[in-house]
């Protein structure tokens, strides 16, 4: 039984990364390296107002005083920040008036990715903002959204056209000096998405961004800002891919969400950056700071993530529950295979009264990967009647991988009810036997069991994403049954 | 022996300087086996220092302020005339045990070794290091992390005495061995007591360590206990802490377990100032079983930090942890449970639970139940909860005419009992049960165990 499983496991882990193509598009890039001039140049090229340049420079100066974090359970190689291109834009016409004007190569790229950039947009009902090598290429569905007063555009455009909103909210949840990678991002971020949902508006479609790193030696530093005013609702999706390369590429993003009174924001991620090859060569370093602020009473922020890619993932989507009765949710599936490393989890900071949070984390490790859950639940002294339930399970597929759990509970209020549960196990031989007995072969059985194991999280994803996520899990797991 | 208690007053200089200034005196009065490690320990301490809360393992307890300021060290065993029994009566009164007394970290006396089976040795580590240095050398510094933990390094620098327990092959000690640690000083005092417990194959022993303070001065206690449990041996280790609020105690217990061995530790904190318990069980042989339990009942400004590390180094071992705490007033507590399953430690079963009751707005708990797993065929789980007394249970009791205070005590007692029932020694369990109940009723103060000031009555302000 075991050898059989090992064989299938080995086959599954051999699954190739199918998004590993490279698009040959002319790139307009700055030379490698980082200094104040590079930052000024980025800001100039993007035609930013003065306050943004100040914001960037301040972040950069602070970053110089900081050190890369050592606490994650990761083997983190030294990163040479001078060996990275901080700005790479596809060379195309500065303004696109219709989809026909999109560079055909670029369009082919997105077609390969299966992004419904054109006609499909109607069918899928998804408004897409595609970011390639740091620059937002095309935003669809804009007019439809504009009718409702929703702003969905690239962040560069927002900086130019809605400076007041940017001034008010940018950096208000993740301050530029928050952590090492956040400071770096604040200094050099090139593009990303901006979403603004006005009072009382329920966004009729799901908003979506696709991120792709294409050019060699580039780092991608995107920045997403979502503001949901009173009584509004939005569901936002994010997907990421990158070509296969031998060297590691850096991705350091920031996502900020602000939910005002009774607003609800649902943020879903399917992260599938190139994870490196079977021997752990290449792959993306994914260092992301994601944080949502439930500012208003009764507001709600929900994070759902399916993490299958990246050589190293360092990511803790968090909720600051400031408004009374606000709630935060975190659903996560993190799958690591081969030599991938993930240190991911969430922080739930309870500040307001009667706040609730829910954490469901499912880790799956295979091959020689290391998968850690790291989470903080903090109840401040004034947060009366806070309620938290956390469940983080780990599934081990193979005897060379590791699954770790590092929860932190800091409780300063006696009315809090906090529960944390974690289990670690492998797929039971009895479960496989049960399936085999009914004519299901071992590989399918493992797929079934894993899918059942993550169902709780996948169910949170919007339909199209759920299908994609399920497929992704299968591909990532191919050959890793054991 | 010199009758005077010679003290080194801290003068607020660093502990390493203090050590270097008095090194000659310390080494002259000690033995070669203990002196051998001092130089390296000093180097390690210079590098590590007293851990601040920047050190991940000490994140929730900053010990640095407690280890600074003026305090004395006793260079020799304190000198009392008279019997220990005259100034001290044990909390566990009716326990029929072999008892040894340790005063300020120095072995003092026992109640008659005729009570022990043949071959069993219990006594002073300093004496043993002189009489049987090869035995001490075999174990001393072999499993406590004196090169990587600043506090263990500090202990190794200053260590001169403590107790040792040696149970030879196949001997089962029926009676519990009780160690009474007494702190009694007229000025602030630091102790670095070093203990050794060795159980050979197929032996069995139950050890009860009671920590007491008999004077009101500030105490800083930095204990290290190294345990070696051979195949098929069984050690039950209970630590009952009942000290006054000006005490800072770091108690490190480091145990190596061989195949089929069984170790149970139970840390019962009834009263203390700032406490830190390091419980490290290394499961080094197949089918070894490690159980770590703890109960902390805190009020006022007390703080206890229980840190446990269960290391599953080989396959087919079992571990179980349960720590429960009741926090009243401004009390704070921390719990860290680390379970490590090393590569290839297949068929490991490891369980861990930490439950906390917060009774007031100002009580505070930080809990970190952690798993680090490198093998796939394992069953591991951990859980942590923080909450209040169950309202329905309270209503049930109230509706049957039990008043609120009584109902609260009943429920707290029921909560704590889960840990108490793990004590397998009947008389001890019974005693601890009643102590805990007294503690909840507020009837237990630290004077309870002190005959001297107990006679003076409750008006004695020297009893904190």
Interface of B with A (CB under 8 A): 56, 343-344, 346, 356, 358-361, 363-388
The tens place of each residue's pLDDT in chain B, 464 residues long, gives 333 344 455 455 688 888 888 888 888 888 999 999 999 999 999 999 888 888 888 889 888 888 887 777 776 666 665 666 666 666 555 567 888 888 888 888 777 656 788 899 999 999 999 999 999 999 999 999 999 999 999 999 999 999 999 999 999 998 889 898 988 887 888 899 999 999 999 999 999 998 888 888 889 999 999 999 999 999 999 998 888 888 999 999 999 999 999 999 999 998 889 999 999 999 999 999 999 999 999 988 899 999 999 999 999 999 999 999 999 889 999 999 999 999 889 999 999 999 999 988 889 999 998 889 988 888 888 888 888 888 899 999 999 999 999 999 999 999 999 999 988 878 778 888 888 888 888 776 544 444 344 333 333 333 33
Q: Strands B189-191 and A135-139: what pairing?
A: unpaired
What span, in angstroms and rounded, lies between the C-alpha atoms of B110 and B94? 17
Residue A80: its pLDDT value, please? 83
Contact B388 A417 (CB under 8 A): yes
Residue B5: its pLDDT value, please? 41
Nearest to A463 by CA among A205, A274, A193, A291: A205
Residue B205: its pLDDT value, please? 94
Cβ under 8 Å to B: A residues 285-324: none
Q: Please tell me whether the interface predicted TM-score (ipTM) of this complex is above 0.85.
A: no
What span, in angstroms and rounded, lies between the C-alpha atoms of A435 and A443? 10
Nearest to B188 by CA among B442, B419, B7: B7
pLDDT cut 90: percent of chain A above it: 29
CA angle at A290 for the pair A284 and A294, rounded to the nearest 5°? 165
Q: Which of A6, A375, A383, A411 would best serve as a mutation to test chain B binding (most B beta carbons within 10 A)?
A: A411
E strand or H helix that includes residue A258: strand A248-259
Cβ proximity of B422 and A454 under 8 Å = no
Q: Which of A336, A353, A397, A403 would best serve as a mutation to test chain B binding (most B beta carbons within 10 A)?
A: A403
Cβ proximity of B337 and B366 under 8 Å = no
Q: Distance (Å) from the C-alpha of residue B434 to the closest C-alpha of chain A?
A: 27
Facing B386 at nearest CB: one of A398, A416, A426? A416
Q: Distance (Å) from the C-alpha of residue A412 to the closest C-alpha of chain B?
A: 5
Which has more pLDDT, B209 or A113? Answer: B209
Instruction: Report in angstroms the alpha-carbon separations of B333 from A409, B80, B197, B246, B336.
Output: 11, 37, 28, 17, 10
Residues forming a β-bridge with A408: A376
Cβ proximity of B246 and B274 under 8 Å = no
Residue B454: its pLDDT value, please? 39
A20 in contact with chain B, both atoms CB, cutoff 8 A? no
E strand or H helix that includes residue B46: helix B38-48
Residue B459: its pLDDT value, please? 34
Cβ proximity of A224 and A136 under 8 Å = no
DSSP annotation string for A323-369:
STT-EEEEEEEEEE-TT-EEEE--EEEE-STT-EEEEEEEEEEETT-
What span, in angstroms and rounded, lies between the C-alpha atoms of B39 and B33? 12
Contact B343 A400 (CB under 8 A): yes
- Sign of torsion, CA A90 A91 A95 A101? negative
Residue B350: its pLDDT value, please? 92
What span, in angstroms and rounded, lies between the C-alpha atoms of B419 and B347? 26
- Residue A230 burial (CB count, 10 A): 18
Residue B283: its pLDDT value, please? 95
Cβ proximity of B362 and B330 under 8 Å = yes
Facing A399 at nearest CB: one of B369, B370, B375? B375
Contact B384 A414 (CB under 8 A): no
Residue A30 has pLDDT above 90, yes or no: no
Nearest to A211 by CA among A228, A233, A196, A190: A190
Q: Which of B347, B349, B371 would best serve as a mutation to test chain A binding (most A beta carbons within 10 A)?
A: B371
Cβ under 8 Å to B: A residues 44-83: 71, 73
Which has more pLDDT, A274 or A481? Answer: A274
Which has more pLDDT, A37 or A137? Answer: A37
CA angle at B271 for the pair B265 and B276, rounded to the nearest 5°? 55
Q: Which of B323, B384, B391, B408 would best serve as a mutation to test chain A binding (most A beta carbons within 10 A)?
A: B384
Contact A381 B361 (CB under 8 A): yes
Facing B371 at nearest CB: one of A405, A410, A482? A405
Cβ-based contacts of B373 with chain A (< 8 Å): 394, 396, 402-404, 424
Where are the domains positioned within chain B? 15-285+423-456, 390-418
Residue A255: its pLDDT value, please? 93
Residues forming a β-bridge with A422: A392, B382
A406 in contact with chain B, both atoms CB, cutoff 8 A? yes
Cβ-based contacts of A432 with chain B (< 8 Å): none
Residue B284: its pLDDT value, please? 95
Phi/psi at A52 (5° precision): -70, -40
Cβ proximity of A407 and B370 under 8 Å = yes
Residue A482 is encoded by which pair of tokens?
Answer: 């054991």
Rg value, chain B, Cα: 21
Q: Coil, strand, or helix at residue B23?
A: helix
Residue B1 is encoded by which pair of tokens?
Answer: 């022996």
Residue A128: its pLDDT value, please? 58
CA dihedral B184, B188, B190, B193 (to 10 degrees): 0
Task: Give the burial class of A143: count Cβ atoms within 10 A of its Cβ; 0-12 exposed, 13-18 middle, 19 or more buried.
Answer: exposed
Residue A242 has pLDDT above 80, yes or no: no
Task: Give the burial class of A454: count Cβ atoms within 10 A of its Cβ; 0-12 exposed, 13-18 middle, 19 or more buried.
Answer: buried
Residue A125: its pLDDT value, please? 44
Nearest to B159 by CA among B238, B240, B221, B68: B221
Residue A465: its pLDDT value, please? 73
Contact A394 B367 (CB under 8 A): no
pLDDT digit string, tens, across residues A321-346: 999 999 999 999 998 888 899 999 99
Cβ-based contacts of B375 with chain A (< 8 Å): 396, 399
| pTM higher than the cut 0.90 | no
Residue B259: its pLDDT value, please? 94
pLDDT digit string, tens, across residues A46-63: 888 888 899 999 999 999
Helix axis angle for A36-45 and A50-64, nearest 10°, is 150
What span, in angstroms and rounded, lies between the C-alpha atoms of A111 and A60? 37
Residue A359 has pLDDT above 90, yes or no: yes
Q: Coil, strand, or helix at residue A448?
A: helix
Residue A402 has pLDDT above 50, yes or no: yes
Cβ-based contacts of B338 with chain A (< 8 Å): none
DSSP secondary structure code for residue B187 in this structure: S
What span, in angstroms and rounded, lies between the C-alpha atoms of B288 and B259? 5
pLDDT digit string, tens, across residues A149-171: 888 888 888 888 899 999 999 98
What span, in angstroms and rounded, lies between the C-alpha atoms of B418 and A213? 56
Residue A326: its pLDDT value, please? 95
- Residue B138 burial (CB count, 10 A): 12
Facing A396 at nearest CB: one of B364, B369, B376? B376
What span, in angstroms and rounded, lies between the C-alpha atoms of A478 and B440? 58
A426 in contact with chain B, both atoms CB, cutoff 8 A? yes
Cβ-based contacts of B351 with chain A (< 8 Å): none
């Amino acid at each position: 039984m075991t050898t059989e499983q090992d064989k299938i496991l080995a086959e599954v882990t051999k699954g190739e990364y199918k998004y590993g193509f490279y698009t040959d598009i002319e790139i307009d890039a700055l030379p490698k390296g980082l200094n104040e001039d590079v930052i000024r140049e980025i800001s100039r090229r993007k035609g930013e107002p003065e306050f943004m340049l100040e914001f960037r420079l301040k972040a950069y100066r602070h970053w110089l005083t900081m050190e890369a974090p050592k606490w994650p359970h990761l083997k983190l190689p030294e990163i040479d920040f001078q060996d990275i291109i901080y700005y790479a834009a596809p060379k195309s016409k500065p303004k696109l008036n219709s989809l026909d004007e999109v560079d055909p190569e670029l369009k082919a790229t997105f077609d390969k990715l299966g992004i419904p950039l054109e006609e499909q947009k109607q069918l899928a009902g998804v408004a897409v903002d595609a970011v390639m090598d740091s620059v937002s290429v095309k935003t669809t569905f804009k007019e439809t959204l504009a009718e409702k007063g929703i702003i969905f555009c690239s962040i560069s455009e927002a900086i130019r056209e809605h400076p007041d909103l940017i001034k008010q909210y940018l950096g208000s949840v993740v301050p530029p000096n928050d952590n090492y990678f956040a400071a770096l991002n604040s200094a050099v971020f090139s593009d990303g998405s901006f979403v603004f949902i006005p009072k009382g508006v329920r966004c009729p479609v799901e908003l979506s961004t696709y991120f792709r790193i294409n050019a060699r030696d580039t780092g991608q530093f995107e920045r997403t800002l979502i503001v949901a005013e009173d009584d509004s609702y939005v569901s936002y999706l994010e997907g990421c891919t990158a070509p296969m390369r031998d060297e590691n590429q850096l991705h350091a993003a920031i996502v900020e969400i602000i939910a005002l009174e009774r607003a609800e924001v649902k943020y879903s991620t399917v992260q599938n950056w190139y994870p490196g090859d079977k021997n752990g060569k290449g792959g993306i370093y994914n260092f992301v700071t994601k944080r949502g602020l439930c500012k208003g009473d009764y507001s709600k922020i929900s994070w759902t993530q399916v993490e299958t890619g990246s050589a190293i993932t360092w990511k803790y989507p968090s909720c600051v529950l400031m408004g009374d009765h606000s709630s935060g949710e975190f659903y996560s599936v993190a799958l690591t295979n081969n030599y991938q490393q993930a240190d991911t989890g969430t922080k739930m900071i309870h500040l307001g009264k009667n706040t609730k949070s829910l954490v469901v984390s499912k880790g799956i490790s295979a091959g020689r990967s290391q998968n850690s859950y790291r989470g903080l639940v903090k109840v401040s002294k004034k947060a009366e009647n806070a309620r938290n339930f956390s469940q983080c399970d780990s599934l081990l597929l193979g005897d060379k991988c590791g699954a770790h759990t590092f929860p932190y509970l800091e409780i300063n209020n006696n009315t809090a009810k906090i529960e944390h549960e974690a289990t670690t196990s492998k797929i039971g031989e009895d479960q496989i036997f049960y399936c085999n007995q009914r004519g299901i072969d071992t590989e399918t059985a493992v797929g079934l069991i894993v899918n059942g194991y993550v169902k709780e999280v996948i169910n949170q994803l919007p339909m199209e994403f759920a299908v994609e996520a399920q497929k992704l899990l299968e591909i990532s797991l191919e050959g890793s049954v054991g | 022996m010199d009758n005077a208690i010679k003290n080194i007053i801290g003068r607020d200089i660093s502990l390493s300087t203090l050590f270097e200034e008095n090194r000659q005196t310390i080494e002259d009065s000690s033995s070669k086996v203990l002196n051998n490690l001092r130089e390296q320990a000093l180097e390690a301490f210079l590098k590590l220092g007293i851990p601040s809360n920047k050190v991940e393992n000490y994140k929730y307890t900053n010990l640095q302020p407690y280890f600074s300021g003026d305090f004395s060290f006793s260079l020799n065993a304190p000198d009392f005339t008279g019997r220990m029994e005259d100034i001290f009566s044990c909390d566990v009164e009716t326990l029929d045990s072999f008892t040894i007394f340790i005063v300020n970290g120095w072995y003092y006396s026992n109640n008659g070794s005729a009570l022990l089976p043949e071959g069993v040795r219990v006594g002073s580590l300093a004496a043993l290091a002189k009489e049987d240095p090869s035995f001490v050398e075999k174990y001393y510094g072999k499993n406590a992390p004196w090169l990587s933990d600043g506090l263990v390094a500090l202990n190794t620098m200053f260590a001169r005495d403590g107790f040792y327990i040696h149970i030879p092959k196949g001997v089962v000690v029926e009676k519990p061995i009780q160690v009474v640690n007494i702190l009694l000083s007229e000025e602030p005092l630091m102790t670095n007591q070093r203990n050794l417990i060795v159980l050979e194959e197929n032996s069995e022993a139950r050890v009860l360590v009671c920590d007491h303070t008999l004077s009101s001065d500030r105490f800083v206690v930095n204990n290290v206990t190294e345990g070696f449990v051979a195949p098929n041996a069984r050690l039950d280790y209970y630590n009952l802490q009942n000290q006054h609020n000006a005490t800072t105690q770091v108690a490190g217990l480091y145990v190596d377990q061989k195949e089929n061995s069984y170790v149970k530790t139970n840390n019962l904190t009834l009263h203390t100032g700032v406490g830190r318990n390091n419980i490290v069980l290394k499961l080094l042989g197949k089918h070894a079983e490690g159980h770590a339990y703890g109960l902390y009942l805190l009020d006022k400004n007390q703080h206890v930090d229980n840190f446990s590390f269960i290391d599953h180094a080989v396959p087919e071992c079992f571990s179980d942890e349960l720590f429960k705490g009741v926090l009243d007033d401004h009390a704070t507590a921390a719990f860290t449970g680390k379970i490590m399953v090393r590569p290839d430690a297949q068929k490991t079963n490891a369980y861990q639970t930490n439950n906390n009751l917060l009774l007031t707005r100002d009580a505070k708990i930080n809990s970190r139940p952690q798993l680090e797993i490198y093998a796939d065929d394992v069953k591991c789980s951990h859980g942590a909860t923080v909450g209040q007394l169950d309202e329905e249970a309270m209503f049930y009791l109230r509706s049957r005419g039990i008043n609120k205070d009584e109902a609260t005590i009943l429920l707290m007692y029921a909560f704590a009992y889960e840990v108490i029932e793990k004590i397998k020694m009947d008389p001890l369990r019974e005693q601890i049960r009643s102590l805990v109940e007294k503690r909840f009723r507020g009837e237990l103060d630290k004077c309870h165990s002190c005959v001297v000031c107990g006679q003076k009555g409750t008006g004695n302000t020297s009893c904190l």
